[in-house]
Amino acid sequence: MATDLKNLSVFSTDELPDVSLRRFAILVSEWNTEVTEALFSGAYQTLLQHGAKAENIIRGNVPGSYELSLASQWFAQRNDIDAVIALGCVIQGETKHNDYINHAVAQGLTNVGLKTGKPVIFGVLTPNNQQQALDRAGGKHGNKGDEAAITAIKMLGLQQQVYSKF
């Protein structure tokens, strides 16, 4: 669904699991800082609002979005981390570099999740320009960081459901 039709900060919170004992890693790209700091703020606050404890949220910074995959793997391999949220912003430029970066990050994060069996959430904006990024980082279309945090919580709930004995 196009974000023009959906606010990223509006989501169902029905039956969210208890995450008070869960530990989250939030990885933040330093490229496009104005945007990624807003994404971090959204993800962090959303986790707190839905039961996560501040001391159970670890932040890691990476130089750019390309580095999110490896850093996510490092954190996902830790026994004390339950879910990883990767936040970045790759804005369309004059060249096709964004296509290569976006594909590599999406594939890399998917591979980390499959390899570790832990939720690894793609919270990377891929807008055409700075304004579109700001609109999705707390602006008129909500905050992708909020959506990423709720996705992590919901995936932990599904994981619990899948692996619990009936």
31 is in an annotated binding site: yes
For the beta carbon of residue 4, count every other beta carbon within 10 angstroms: 9
36 is in an annotated binding site: no
3 is in an annotated binding site: no
66 is in an annotated binding site: yes
67 is in an annotated binding site: yes
Burial 117-156 (b: 16+ CB within 10 A, else e): ebbbbbbbbbbeeeebbbbbbbeebbbbbbbbbbbbbbbb
94 is in an annotated binding site: yes
164 is in an annotated binding site: no
The partner residues of 62 in beta bridges, in order of sequence, read 29
Among 50, 97, 103, 141, the one annotated catalytic: 97
* Annotation says 50 is catalytic: no
Helix (H, G, I), strand (E, B) or coil at 59: strand
Q: Give Cβ neighbours of residue 70 (< 8 Å, ≥ 6 apart).
A: 108
Q: How many Cα atoms occupy the beta-carbon half-sphere of 1 within 13 Å?
A: 7
162 is in an annotated binding site: no
Tell me which residues are annotated as active site.
Answer: 97
Cite the annotated binding site for 5-amino-6-(D-ribitylamino)uracil by residue number.
31, 65-67, 89-91, 122
Binding residues for (2S)-2-hydroxy-3-oxobutyl phosphate: 94-95, 136
Binding site members: 31, 65-67, 89-91, 94-95, 122, 136
